[in-house]
Amino acid sequence: MPLPKDVLRLRIKNEVEMCQRELRHHISVSDPNLTSFPIMVSVTLLRVPGPDWEEGKVVHRFVHRLAILISHDYPMEKPIVKWMTPIFHPNIMAPEDGGYVCTKLLENWDFSSNLMTFIKGIESLLTTPNPRNPFGNDTCTRAAAYFNRKRYNPPLVMNQSDKRIRIVGDAND
């Protein structure tokens, strides 16, 4: 049974505002009034290293875009997530392959799940690909084979506000 519309709008509003306040990423909503479903939450991850493949080698990309589609059955129904930027990852399909994201956060989605936890989980997934559980398409299986041979070592990212080094996904992040 879905949440009452007013409760649903308030929950989504609070989750989006918390993400905008607590995360350094750009987050916008397709319908600011949260009345027209599905709602698309556009997320641009900034300063998060993730693997890409260019000219025969793995390179680091630091800006990533994804779209999160929220239905009127949220949070009982998990959102639909589409990756929008180039990537070389066993658990994230490139946009031209569908842009699907394979993560336990979506598999185990329940009423207590939220956008903040999901986005932080995506940050972690970018820096720690899981080659043992890839999608079955060509790009993801090639990425899995690559990362089974060679561990992905993302560069350290400097936090501009306090000039301290942080590791994405670190408990102090």
Q: What percent of the chain has pLDDT over 70?
A: 91
Give the model's confidence band at 170: pLDDT under 50 very low, under 70 low, under 90 confident, else very high: low
Active-site position among 19, 102, 115, 157: 102
Rounded alpha-carbon distances, angstroms, from residue 40 to 3, 12, 71, 72, 131:
18, 11, 9, 12, 29
Is 102 a known active-site residue? yes
pLDDT value of residue 166: 54
Question: Looking at this protein, which amino acid is placed at residue 161?
Answer: S
Give the model's confidence band at 158: pLDDT under 50 very low, under 70 low, under 90 confident, else very high: low
* 140: nearest Cα among 153, 125, 155, 154: 125
Paired sense of beta strands 57-70 and 80-83, if any: antiparallel
pLDDT at 159 over 80: no
37-91, pLDDT tens digit by residue?
999 999 999 999 999 999 999 999 999 999 999 999 999 999 999 999 999 999 9
pLDDT value of residue 173: 46
DSSP, residue by residue, the chain: -PPPHHHHHHHHHHHHHHHHHHSSSEEEES-TT--SSSEEEEEEEEEEEEEEEETTEEEEEEEEEEEEEE-TTTTTSPPEEEE-S----SSB--GGGT--B--HHHHT--TT--HHHHHHHHHHHHHS--TTS--SSHHHHHHHHHHHHS---PPPEE-TTT--EE-TT-TT-
Q: Which domains does the chain have, with CATH numbers?
A: 5-166 (3.10.110.10)
110-129, pLDDT tens digit by residue?
999 999 999 999 999 999 99
* 158: nearest Cα among 166, 149, 150, 169: 166
